[in-house]
Amino acid sequence: MAGARGTMISSGMFETFRARAEAVSGEVHRVASDAAAADFLAGFLESEGVADRPGSRAVCAATPGLAGVRPEQLAAKIPGLTLDVDRKSAAESRVGISAVDFGLADTGTVVQDASSVPLRLVSTLPEIHVALLRTGAILPDLEALLPRLDPSRSPYLSFITGPSRTADIERVLTIGVHGPVRLVVLCVDGPAAAAEGAPS
Amino acid sequence: MTGTFRREISDALANPNLGGALTRFSEAYRTSRAKAYEGVDFESLRARIAEIKGGAAGRYPELVARFREQAEKRGAKVFLADGPEKVRAYILDLAKRSGVKKVVKSKSMASEEIHLNKALQEAGVDVRETDLGEWIIQLAGQKPSHMVMPAIHLTKEEVAGIFSKEVHERVSSEIPRLVKVARHELRERFLEADMGISGANIAVAETGSLVIVTNEGNARLVTTLPRIHVAIVGLEKLVPAFSDIVPILKALPRSATSQLLTSYVSIITGAAENTDGSPKELHIVLMDHRRSEMAGDPVFKEALQCIRCASCLNVCPVYRLVGGHVFGDVYTGGIGTILTAWTGALERSKEIQGLCIQCGSCVEVCPGKIDIPELIVEVRRRQVKEQGQPFVQKAIFKVVNDRRLFHGVLRAASLAQKPFEKDGLIRHLPMFLSGLAEHRSLPAVAEVPFRDEVRGIAQPKGDRKVAFYAGCLIDFAYPGTGRSVVEVLNRAGVEVVFPDAQTCCGAPARYSGAYDVAAQNAIDNIRAFDGLEVEAIVSACPTCTAALKHEFIAALRSEGRSDWLAKAQALAEKAVDFSSYVTRLVAEGRLTIPEGKALAAVTYHDSCHLKRTLHVTKEPRELLAKAGLPLVEMDEADMCCGMGGSYSVKFPEISAPILGRKLANVRKTGAGTVAMDCPGCLMQIRGGLDKESSPIGVRHLADLLAERLGGR
């Protein structure tokens, strides 16, 4: 019973998360399984014209827990996708992929322990940041998140809400200043959320 | 005030881009801010922030020690600097030692406060601002004109001109194109810099964490790519616990940019990894620069509750006309005035403190719960205390402080003005006073002041008795309104007594920082009302009511006249504004206002002190409804009319456009009458409408009610 209820809350939470993230120009997708996530990524990279030349490459921070996606399998399939993240590869890439740890429904935010440098490089330098998020890791808000953060173990925590933006010239909202021009959040239903059935 | 400052004001007012941009912004801000706060209990949120930051301000030494211990345990170097020189020296020395040639900076007001860029450049270090607005003003060689949007005063064409010079090609003025130029130009700078300098929005003592809130993503690059990161953090950024970041992160984006959360929040705790795998060299400079001194000051400690959202600028009727280059120094607007007095140039602070019109709009929105106008008056008070009052002001208050002399002068003025008077308004003044009447007509001083007239009013001996505090304007300019007050109260069977010894409420003196005069006014009035057997002291002027209820006590306390405090308190308890008292009589069933049929529409102007000091907004509207007067709300009904007591005399050039906007909002409603509770607003608004020969009636609520009750 508790499980069923948890699933329901999570579904409502996902919808709120999606609505809030989209309200700040974030893009949100949801897939039912790890396999579907890998397929989505492959399709996405292809449709974005990722290829093995400067400016068209993709980088993936292959940290553990990448929502079950096997990055090396993906890299083998997609020319131009590298797991070797450094300043140069990230700066030359059009797409950066990384896993995030939590979502916050009420603001459409993703939260990441970004202490590992590749995680920051792939989410700052490329024009598109694809963030992989377990659907079940979406929490209601900052209050719910706080007890799960431990700054003493995470020297660099990042909250990301939509793409980079500015309104510094005549107050006109413009997307994409120094950070990514697009933020694509891929919510992957894990084993816990799979019981819920087909995702929307 | 210097001539240069006057010129700065008139130049700003004459700049259509500035006024246009700021006004459009402040209009949009009102709505977008409200939307961002939907579903949030703002009052409890800001009470929490005030508690956290106010509490922290009382224990900086302890929080600094804890912060240092925690951050250093995690590989950071923490340096406590007492002033700007030490901060600059530390950073310059570090740059020299580490062979730093290129610096990228994300937005830091603390670094602006100490003019760090200049020092770095003089030492031969190439320093780049990377926040778009900051970069623009760096290239233009200017100061930020807004704490959150530093380049809000510039148009896209001006920005295109500035960028064209920088990149040596003609840049189009399309905004997305301009943003691309910044992205492209600065990308290389991020990658090649040896040092990144940032500020921080919060510093957590418990964990040694820095919290940095941005939208552009530049702070993430500044703190990630260069091998050295220096964070300059004012002590006021310290909070005790990690959980304290929650209310601040909720309020700051909502108040600053009407966002639920900014695009990026970075929490940095100790030295993270560099891109080559080495640990980051992280230096955190905790800057005191008089913050400890402020924390020890019983009045100014409150200013340390500021979270630098700049909402006090966004709602300010003066800021939106003149902008931050006039109204501010490094820090701008209301809070900027206070911070300039403590951390900026003394001369500048003397000039800008006068710009606050004391309308209190900022008090309503401040997420740090800071009474900004009150602190600005305290800045004035201390400056007056140190240097004395300006000569003319001193001469005037000498008169005001002697009731008989003051009232004698007013009576004499009634005769002297005769040649200029027509229909109770003065349209032309002799040359030397013309600045005062250029944009509005002034009321003539009444031939028979209310204090004389009241003796001739036959009143019922009722079972209820109140005292009437008229205030100078009703007494000497609008005695008719005084008559209306008495008529309405009489109709409810309430007898009205008028103590003759009552005098000026002290507001003009207080707002000029002359607290000794204000305190003497308070004592004279307390004496005048002392021992009266009345249930209430009613005033039809909200500024006077606010004085009776709050400011007598404040002035006496500030002047150390605690011997009068008990009596001032008793007076305060009895003081009530006209609308609230009449509402009470209606609720008790003692007064029935005959409901007129098919009456012409009325619009209502909320006076600053009535709404924001006395918190009265419903009562006058309900009374209008009871009288059957259909109410059409105007835009920004609670925005200041530009009167501000003597403000309209000191800054007629600012008062006039504020009034102009109020009049436009009144006209837009199509109402035939604008009602209000304040004789000061009435003087301003009636004067403005008269000047443009408008047929719109301007009425004090007491007059409207007396008329409905059939008195006249």
- State yes or no: pLDDT of B26 exceeds 70: yes
User: Which residue is closest to B269 within chain A, CA to CA?
Assistant: A155
Most A CBs within 10 Å, among B259, B261, B320, to test the A interface: B261
- Give the model's confidence band at B409: pLDDT under 50 very low, under 70 low, under 90 confident, else very high: confident
- Amino acid in position B161: G
Question: Which residues of chain A does B203 touch, with a Cβ-Cβ cutoff of 8 Å?
Answer: none
Q: Which residue has the tokens 């008169």?
A: B399
**Tens digit of each residue's pLDDT (9 = 90 or more) over B225-253:** 999 999 999 999 999 999 999 999 999 99
User: Which residue is closest to A163 within chain B, CA to CA?
Assistant: B263
Alpha carbon of residue A141 to chain centroid: 17
By Cβ distance, the residue of A165, A172, A178 closest to B221 is A178
Interchain pair A151, B209: CB under 8 A: yes
Q: Residue A10: what pLDDT?
A: 60
Q: Residue A198: what pLDDT?
A: 36
Least confident of A66-75, A110-119, A173-182, B152-161: A66-75
C-alpha span between B41 and B678 (Å, rounded): 31
Higher-pLDDT residue of B700 and B410 is B700
C-alpha span between B218 and B189 (Å, rounded): 11
Question: Which residues of chain B does A123 touch, with a Cβ-Cβ cutoff of 8 Å?
Answer: 220
Shortest alpha-carbon distance between residue B645 and chain A (Å)? 34
**In which domain, by residue range, is A77 found?**
2-191
For residue B680, count other CB atoms closer than 10 A to its CB. Answer: 25
Question: Which residues of chain A does B150 touch, with a Cβ-Cβ cutoff of 8 Å?
Answer: 168
First-to-last C-alpha distance (Å) of chain B = 47
Q: Residue B465: what pLDDT?
A: 96
**Tens digit of each residue's pLDDT (9 = 90 or more) over A144-192:** 999 999 999 999 999 999 999 999 999 999 999 999 999 999 999 976 4
Q: Residue B399: what pLDDT?
A: 78
Assess contact for B88 and B94: CB atoms under 8 A: no
Higher-pLDDT residue of B399 and B13 is B13
Q: Residue A145: what pLDDT?
A: 97
Residue A9 in any domain: the answer is yes
Q: What are A97's two structure tokens?
A: 């992929």
Interchain pair A179, B216: CB under 8 A: yes
C-alpha span between B287 and B289 (Å, rounded): 6
By Cβ distance, the residue of B25, B149, B261 closest to A161 is B261
Interchain pair B266, A158: CB under 8 A: yes
At B696, is the secondary structure helix, strand, or coil? coil
**What's the average model confidence in pLDDT over B469-486?**
95
Q: What are the angstrom distances between the C-alpha of B279 and each of A64, A115, A117, B128, B227?
A: 22, 11, 11, 24, 8
Shortest alpha-carbon distance between residue B87 and chain A (Å)? 24
Sign of the torsion formed by the C-alpha atoms of B17, B20, B26 and B29: negative
Most B CBs within 10 Å, among A153, A154, A166, to test the B interface: A166
By Cβ distance, the residue of B152, B179, B277 closest to A174 is B179
- State yes or no: pLDDT of B618 exceeds 90: yes
Alpha carbon of residue A31 to chain centroid: 13
pTM: 0.92
Shortest alpha-carbon distance between residue B143 and chain A (Å)? 14
Alpha carbon of residue A86 to chain centroid: 19
Residue A83 in any domain: the answer is yes
Sign of the torsion formed by the C-alpha atoms of B243, B244, B249 and B254: positive
pLDDT mean across residues, chain B: 93
pLDDT mean across residues, chain A: 89
Interchain pair B154, A107: CB under 8 A: no
- Amino acid in position B5: F
Most A CBs within 10 Å, among B27, B215, B227, to test the A interface: B215
**What's the average model confidence in pLDDT over B585-610?**
93
CA angle B38/B43/B46 to nearest 5° reads 105
For residue A68, count other CB atoms closer than 10 A to its CB. Answer: 16
Which ipTM value was assigned to this complex?
Answer: 0.93
Q: Does B410 touch chain A (CB under 8 A)?
A: no
% pLDDT > 70, chain A: 88
Residue A77 in any domain: the answer is yes
At B536, is the secondary structure helix, strand, or coil? strand
By Cβ distance, the residue of A124, A170, A172 closest to B220 is A124
**Tens digit of each residue's pLDDT (9 = 90 or more) over A43-52:** 999 999 999 9
Residue A200 in any domain: the answer is no
Q: Chain A neighbours among B 58-87 (CB < 8 Å)? A: 74
CA nearest neighbour of A162 among A119, A123, A121, A122:
A123
Shortest alpha-carbon distance between residue A113 and chain B (Å)? 10
Assess contact for A121 and A86: CB atoms under 8 A: yes
Q: Residue A153: what pLDDT?
A: 95
User: Which residue is closest to A85 within chain B, CA to CA?
Assistant: B275
- Amino acid in position A7: T
Assess contact for B212 and B122: CB atoms under 8 A: no
What's the number of CA atoms in the CB half-sphere (13 Å) around residue B414? 14
- Amino acid in position B119: A
- Indicate the helix (H) or strand (E) that contains A184: strand A182-188
C-alpha span between B563 and B565 (Å, rounded): 6
Q: Residue A73: what pLDDT?
A: 87
Q: Which residue has the tokens 């009205």?
A: B496
- Give the model's confidence band at B166: pLDDT under 50 very low, under 70 low, under 90 confident, else very high: very high
Q: What are B210's two structure tokens?
A: 């820095």
Q: What residues does A156 pair with on adjacent strands?
A: B268
Assess contact for B527 and B556: CB atoms under 8 A: no
By Cβ distance, the residue of A121, A152, A166 closest to B215 is A166
Q: Does B156 touch chain A (CB under 8 A)?
A: yes
Q: Does B145 touch chain A (CB under 8 A)?
A: no
- State yes or no: pLDDT of A194 exceeds 50: no
* Beta strands across the sheet bearing A109-113: A138-139, A102-104, A109-113, A156-160, B264-269, B209-214, B202-204, B238-239
User: Which residue is closest to B212 within chain A, CA to CA?
Assistant: A158
**What's the average model confidence in pLDDT over B587-610?**
92
User: Which residue is closest to B243 within chain A, CA to CA?
Assistant: A146
Dihedrals φ, ψ of A23, to 5°?
A: -65, -20
Residue A130 in any domain: the answer is yes
E strands, B215-362, in order: 228-234, 238-239, 264-269, 281-287
- State yes or no: pLDDT of B428 exceeds 80: no
Alpha helix ranges (H) inside B15-59:
16-36, 42-57
Assess contact for B517 and B400: CB atoms under 8 A: yes
Q: Does B217 touch chain A (CB under 8 A)?
A: yes
Dihedrals φ, ψ of A125, to 5°?
A: -85, -45
Interchain pair B266, A86: CB under 8 A: no
Q: What are B672's two structure tokens?
A: 């035939």
Question: Which residues of chain A does B242 touch, with a Cβ-Cβ cutoff of 8 Å?
Answer: 146, 149, 151
Dihedrals φ, ψ of B671, to 5°?
A: -70, 145
Q: Does B104 touch chain A (CB under 8 A)?
A: no
Dihedrals φ, ψ of B442, to 5°?
A: -110, 150
By Cβ distance, the residue of A115, A158, A164 closest to B216 is A164
% pLDDT > 90, chain B: 84
Q: CB-based contacts of B355: which residues, under 8 Å, 6+ apart?
A: B318, B322, B326, B327, B337, B651, B654
Question: Which residues of chain A does B182 touch, with a Cβ-Cβ cutoff of 8 Å?
Answer: 177-178
- Indicate the helix (H) or strand (E) that contains B89: helix B84-97
Least confident of B260-264, B493-497, B522-526, B646-650: B646-650
Interchain pair A164, B209: CB under 8 A: no
CB environment B482-503: b (16+ within 10 A), e (fewer): bbbbbbbbbbbebbbebbeebb
Q: Residue B436: what pLDDT?
A: 62
What CATH number is attached to the domain comprising A144?
Answer: 3.40.50.10420
By Cβ distance, the residue of A151, A156, A166 closest to B242 is A151
Q: What are the angstrom distances between the C-alpha of B153 and each of B136, B139, B340?
A: 11, 14, 20
Q: What are the angstrom distances between the C-alpha of B580 and each of B262, B538, B568?
A: 42, 9, 20
Q: What residues does B538 pair with on adjacent strands?
A: B468, B576
Beta B264-269 vs A156-160: how paired, if at all? Answer: antiparallel
Residue A114 in any domain: the answer is yes
Higher-pLDDT residue of A54 and A156 is A156
Q: Does B548 touch chain A (CB under 8 A)?
A: no
Q: What are B168's two structure tokens?
A: 């040596």
Question: Which residues of chain A does B130 touch, with a Cβ-Cβ cutoff of 8 Å?
Answer: 178
3-state helix, strand, coil in chain B (%, to 5): 55, 10, 30
C-alpha span between B58 and B52 (Å, rounded): 10
Question: Which residues of chain A does B209 touch, with a Cβ-Cβ cutoff of 8 Å?
Answer: 151
**Tens digit of each residue's pLDDT (9 = 90 or more) over B626-643:** 999 999 999 999 999 999
- Amino acid in position A13: M
Dihedral-angle region of residue B95 (phi above 0 means left; psi in -120 to 50 means alpha; beta otherwise): alpha
Beta-carbon pairs below 8 A across chains A and B? 171
**Tens digit of each residue's pLDDT (9 = 90 or more) over A64-98:** 767 677 888 888 889 999 999 999 999 999 999 99
Higher-pLDDT residue of A41 and A200 is A41
Dihedrals φ, ψ of B159, to 5°?
A: -65, -40
Q: Hey, what's the torsion of the CAs at B17, B20, B24, B25, to 10 degrees?
A: 50
- Indicate the helix (H) or strand (E) that contains B77: strand B76-81
- State yes or no: pLDDT of B614 exceeds 50: yes
- Give the model's confidence band at B595: pLDDT under 50 very low, under 70 low, under 90 confident, else very high: confident
Assess contact for A141 and A153: CB atoms under 8 A: no
* Beta strands across the sheet bearing B494-497: B494-497, B464-469, B536-539, B575-577
Dihedrals φ, ψ of B466, to 5°?
A: -130, 160
Q: How many distinct structural domains can be found in chain A? A: 1
- Where does residue B154 rank: exposed (0-12), middle (13-18), buried (19+ CB within 10 A)? buried
Residue A152 in any domain: the answer is yes
Beta A109-113 vs A102-104: how paired, if at all? Answer: antiparallel
Shortest alpha-carbon distance between residue A85 and chain B (Å)? 10
Q: Hey, what's the torsion of the CAs at A187, A188, A193, A195, to 10 degrees?
A: 130
Interchain pair B268, A87: CB under 8 A: no
Shortest alpha-carbon distance between residue B127 and chain A (Å)? 17
Shortest alpha-carbon distance between residue A5 and chain B (Å)? 25
User: Which residue is closest to A115 within chain B, CA to CA?
Assistant: B272
Assess contact for B548 and B469: CB atoms under 8 A: yes
Dihedrals φ, ψ of A10, to 5°?
A: -60, -40
Q: Does B251 touch chain A (CB under 8 A)?
A: no
Interchain pair A162, B263: CB under 8 A: yes
Residue A164 in any domain: the answer is yes
- State yes or no: pLDDT of A1 exceeds 60: no
Radius of gyration over alpha carbons of chain A, in Å? 16
